[in-house]
Amino acid sequence: MAKKKAQHALHIKSHTHGSSNEISFSVLDAAREARDAAERDRREGAGAGRVPLFTLGRGKKPRATPARSQSIVIPKGAAPARSSASSFASAAAAEVDRRAFRIVPVVVVVCVLLALALTLGQTLISMRTQQQGFRSSLNDNISVITSCDETLIPFDELVMAQYDRKRLSPSAAGQHAPSFEDLSEGYRRVVADIAPSRAQLEESLAAIESMRPTLADNNAEEAAHQAVTAARARLNMLDAGVAIIEQSLMATEAFLDCQGGWRAVINADAAAREATALLREMSEANVRASMEESDEAVTQLNDARELFTKAQGAYPGLDLDSFIAYVEKRLEAQQAALASDQAYLDRDKEALAEENDRYNALEAEAAALAQDLGDDPDQRVANRFYESIEDQVTVYEAERLKAGNADTFLRDYLGKSVQ
């Protein structure tokens, strides 16, 4: 019976359009929709306020979760569920974020490297420009140092002439004889010329010393070292050379005074001998002639004493006391000779004998002093001079050699720098 009803319910005749006793597809669908809606309302009313443990009714069975090997197929024309779209969008955004996160550090690193490269390049260019400026300044200061030789060469010639042992020689005569006036004039001339050169050397030396730590090129650094050596050597030459010339000025003056004083002593001795010879034949004429010679001897001896005293005062350290003592003894002897001659003219035999004995005694004492004089006074001055400048000459020659060696390197360096 139930089976028959089911068949009746599904029995639909064809071509039933317009018949009152027939049911169309649209009517059946509407009835089914109304029934389902009523059923849902009943379930919702009955279960309001609690979560059902099971799902009842005739609703469609939920689709089973696809297996791992299966894939979800979205029907054509059907819109994806909102949750799926949201998940997909979130996943895509996360992937974009992850990619962006990976890209950002790369971009930052590239930018940093570019900035470093640019900075390094600018620094290298700046350093290169700075080094070129340092080398140019170094070359300029080297040129200043070498240009000072225009005034230092005459100075060098004058200095070397002073410690030539042939200069202060008792045998030097004529044009080879030393001249205090010529030396003084030459010294004034070179001093006026070397004063600016000294200032230039000191300025260049200070400039090179200040730039030496900043030089990066080994060749330029060595050139700076050699330039410092050349400048210092020249300054040391000036110091030692000036000391030598100043010693030479004093020694030359003393040397010439001693030569004059010793000539006066020789002239006085000749006059004294002549006075003694005239008295071999005692007569008033011969005695008066003898007195004239003795007066000449006294004049010469006074000149000698004055010159020896002046020489000793002009050249500190020079000892001429023995020569002065000898001259003074000879002066006393000649004064005794004059007194003896005057006693003869006065016909005072007692005074004549007394003064004559005193003269002989004084001459004997003078002869004893002469034995201890040693070298002539001008030779004593020469010995004193060469001894006093020995250290300065050693320094001068050493610094002169240093300057020459440094100049050799600098000439080669400047030649390469110009090329």
**For 134-151, how does the pLDDT look when each residue is reduced to its tens digit (9 = 90+)?**
567 778 888 888 888 888
Q: Which amino acid is at 331?
A: L
Whether 212 shows a pLDDT value over 90: the answer reads no
Q: What is the mean pLDDT of residues 359-387?
A: 92
137 vs 376, residue with greater confidence = 376
Average pLDDT, the chain: 78
Q: What percent of the chain has pLDDT over 70?
A: 66
**Among the ranges 26-30, 211-215, 264-268, which has the highest mean pLDDT value?**
264-268
Whole-angstrom Cα distance, residue 348 to residue 342?
A: 9
Whole-angstrom Cα distance, residue 115 to residue 307?
A: 87
pTM of the entire structure?
Answer: 0.65
Q: For the segment 242-276, what is each residue's pLDDT rounded down to a tens digit?
A: 999 999 999 999 999 999 999 999 999 999 999 99
Residue burial 64-87, b: 16+ Cβ < 10 Å; e: rest? eeeeeeeeeeeeeeeeeeeeeeee
Residue 259, C-beta contacts closer than 8 angstroms, at least 6 positions apart = 170, 377, 378
Low-confidence winner among 114-123, 158-167, 188-197 (lowest mean pLDDT): 114-123
Residue 139, C-beta contacts closer than 8 angstroms, at least 6 positions apart = 414, 417
Q: What angle do CA 394, 400, 404 make, to 5 degrees?
A: 150
Whole-angstrom Cα distance, residue 203 to residue 376?
A: 48
Whether 125 shows a pLDDT value over 70: the answer reads no
User: Which pLDDT value is given to residue 286?
Assistant: 92
Whole-angstrom Cα distance, residue 383 to residue 355?
A: 40
Residue 230, number of CB atoms within 10 A of its CB: 28
Whole-angstrom Cα distance, residue 368 to residue 325?
A: 11
Whether 88 shows a pLDDT value over 60: the answer reads no
Whether 106 shows a pLDDT value over 50: the answer reads yes
Cβ pair 310, 287 in contact under 8 A: no
Cβ pair 59, 44 in contact under 8 A: no
Residue 304, C-beta contacts closer than 8 angstroms, at least 6 positions apart = 261, 262, 264, 265, 268, 323, 327
